[in-house]
Chain A
């Protein structure tokens, strides 16, 4: 049943590539608040500068399209060719190749920063704070976030009890050993990440866009509500997916049904990301006309428009400029630790995949999947 694993991987890769393309390279980036992670400036829309920005946006989008197309075509080819250790290795490494789509974005960011210098747009270094809204504007409904994640905890506990034979609902010998525990644990891992990230995003610094405190409060509340709802929706989907997959494992144990469940889970997650990004864009558009303050120009603190490094900023979490949600300040001690852990995990994952392929474990892996 190796084709099932390949198909799931392929769908994940292609949808992720397309979502990245849509989020990072919109059709008219010059109309957005951020162009390749650089804050839009009126000078970007004048004379030669406008032409340069347009040409740069087109060229970066074209490069991203080519990279996405290559990844998608390579994925389809690898799904169609007979499975060997090498094809499985190549398919898994394509997951990491998704990062290549960010290269044109980084290039666009670097060139726009150079253009800023050429145009004499200097760093203003002005920070605004709204005394009325400091630490009081939130959009996350905590009980609604805790509830689905608590259900995930209970479901995982339930799965462990079934796998270890404490609770007898079905004959556990008939299904893969510890399959329920491993499936529910992977969802629990997602839940463990979702809760702190949602809390951090709800406490992200408020953006001051107007002299009117009410406008600032409404704008930040709308944005935080959008993030909060996004994390709540993700949590509920997580809780529902674990219940559906456990039911499928216990009572149906049909490969096609399980595959359909996994695919539906991926599709719903992707749909939530796209809907949340669209909502965020509509909030930005709605409040564009209420913006009467020049926002902080911290473009130089954004390495390639993706990584935030600002030693003068004591905050750990900041709003992302690329994609959806937040990121960490790498200059912050905790930020450094998080980035090191992520880098180690990334290197370890690639190393592990290569090692698994080299030692012939992929053949065993494809046979021993929970799908058959």
Chain B
């Protein structure tokens, strides 16, 4: 799976990595049980501080997407907890996206089509 980091983005690097790993798990590019690189290796590969990658992994672990242990490092969780509920944060983000699309004149059907494609 390819991770793309935009150095000039307003989104912090740790969040960009987190978002892309979540998208990778959702799309199936990262499968359950798949090994993730070590904090040091990924930091070296991107050329960033190890603390940044560590923060990403901690966040992903906290959110239940990955599990980490001393022996095996970081792995994608086999069974990610499905609450069936959308977080308030994501609802706000979705509302912003829908509002912007509406103001830009994007038809509702087009938006639904995109949701179907990404889901």
Contact = CB atoms under 8 A, between A and B. Distances in A.
A126 B13 CA distance: 11
B38 interface: yes
What DSSP secondary structure best describes chain B's contact surface? mixed
Given A134-B37, A134-B45, A205-B45, A126 B2 contact: no
8 contacts: A126-B4, A127-B46, A129-B5, A134-B45, A135-B44, A211-B2, A216-B2, A314-B48
Interface string A306-319: 00001011110000
Contacts of B116: none
Interface of A: 125-132, 134-135, 205-206, 208, 211, 213, 216, 293, 310, 312-315
A48 B42 CA distance: 42
Contacts of B118: none
A125 B7 CA distance: 5
A211 B1 CA distance: 8
Contact of A134 (B4, B30, B41): B41
Contacts of B2: 128-131, 208, 211, 213, 216, 293
A132 B1 contact: yes
B45 A206 contact: yes
A134 B42 contact: yes
B110 interface: no
Interface string B23-52: 010000010000011100111111111000
Contacts of B3: 128-131
Contacts of B49: 314
Contacts of B42: 129, 131, 134
A132 B46 CA distance: 13
Contacts of B36: 131
Contacts of B6: 125-126
- The residue among B3, B30, B47 with the most chain A CB atoms within 10 A of its own CB is B47
Nearest to B36: A131
A126 B5 contact: yes
A213 B45 CA distance: 14
B119 interface: no
Given A130-B1, A314-B44, A314-B47, 15 more contacts: A126-B6, A126-B7, A127-B4, A127-B5, A128-B3, A128-B5, A130-B2, A131-B2, A131-B30, A132-B1, A134-B37, A135-B38, A205-B44, A310-B47, A315-B47
A126 B57 CA distance: 21
Contact of B4 (A128, A206, A314): A128
B47 A205 contact: yes
Contact of B47 (A134, A293, A313): A313
